[in-house]
Amino acid sequence: MKHLILIVMLAPFLEPSGAGKLVAAIQAATQTPSQPAAAPSSGAPADQENARKARALLDQAIQALGGQAFLNIHDKEEEGRTYSFHHGRPTSNGVLFWRFVEYPDKERIEVTKERDVAYIYAGDKGYEVTYKGPHPVEKQELEDYLRRRRFSLDTLLREWINAPGVALFYDGNALAGNLPAQQITLINAKNEAVSLYLDIATHLPIKKSYTWRDPVDKERNVEEEIYDNYRPVQGVMTAYGFTRYFNGDMQTQRFANSAHYNQGLDEAMFDPNSHYDPNKAAKKH
């Protein structure tokens, strides 16, 4: 009995790898010599099976997106029209945009028909570039951008799933809008969590959701992104429709007209002081 009490007292401090030894010790302490020890279970713990299923579904999603073609994307460019909303109501009739991304941490967004306003993000810096020259974006705007990049779909499927300390959970069937989906939650070493919803039929990502707490007012915020209208581009399934929600209100919508991968972007476009002219660059092509 003394041994059993000691085992129970030590149980919370044992490593997970010692769980089997703990079970065996308890069995040995509670059985009489005439009782044969029960055979150890050959099945994996339920949480390991759950994590394996989550990982398998994520691998399936990567394959649906294009497999190695998706993972080998170095840069991306797209063109279309974007809409902004305030409290769920549109603030304009839409603005033309050109978007250029060089992974992992460079992005340039040009707006207006003349392409004379650009937002450049490189590393942890952000700039607005107009005819007056470059100016750092406001601190809150930069923080919002960096947070969204950290939780972006590309970052999840390229970095998070292979990072040390990331836990994967299969949450079962769910609804993403009106579509049946399978929900997976990823939690990184910083205890940041993201839920990803995969279309049951196509296995493509159709929704992403995560929460964060405002450092000032301590309020909990929820951001959601919807991906739709997938089309194949250079072997990669590409979402031509994108919608972002903030605390349940539609915030941004983006509709692409065209998309291209691995075109070899001009590094000058990510330098706010390079005087890069997108119209001259377009004429060269």
Q: Using DSSP, state whether 29 is helix, strand or coil.
A: helix
Nearest 5°: the CA angle 196, 199, 201 is: 155
* CA–CA separation, 260 and 273 (whole Å): 26
Q: What is the pTM of this model?
A: 0.81
CA-to-CA dists, residue 220 to 49, 85, 121, 250, angstroms = 31, 21, 26, 17
Per-residue tokens: 204: 């493509």
How high is the pLDDT of residue 6? 36
CA-to-CA dists, residue 77 to 5, 81, 97, 167, 260, angstroms = 65, 14, 11, 32, 5
* CA–CA separation, 196 and 184 (whole Å): 5
How high is the pLDDT of residue 90? 81
How high is the pLDDT of residue 192? 95
**Going residue by residue through the chain (285 aa), what tens digit of pLDDT does each one get?**
434 333 333 333 333 444 343 334 334 433 444 444 344 444 568 889 999 999 999 999 999 999 999 999 999 999 999 999 987 788 878 999 999 999 999 999 999 999 999 999 999 999 999 999 999 999 999 999 999 999 999 999 999 999 999 999 999 999 998 899 999 999 999 999 999 999 999 999 999 999 999 888 888 999 999 999 999 999 999 999 999 999 999 999 999 999 999 999 999 999 999 999 998 866 565
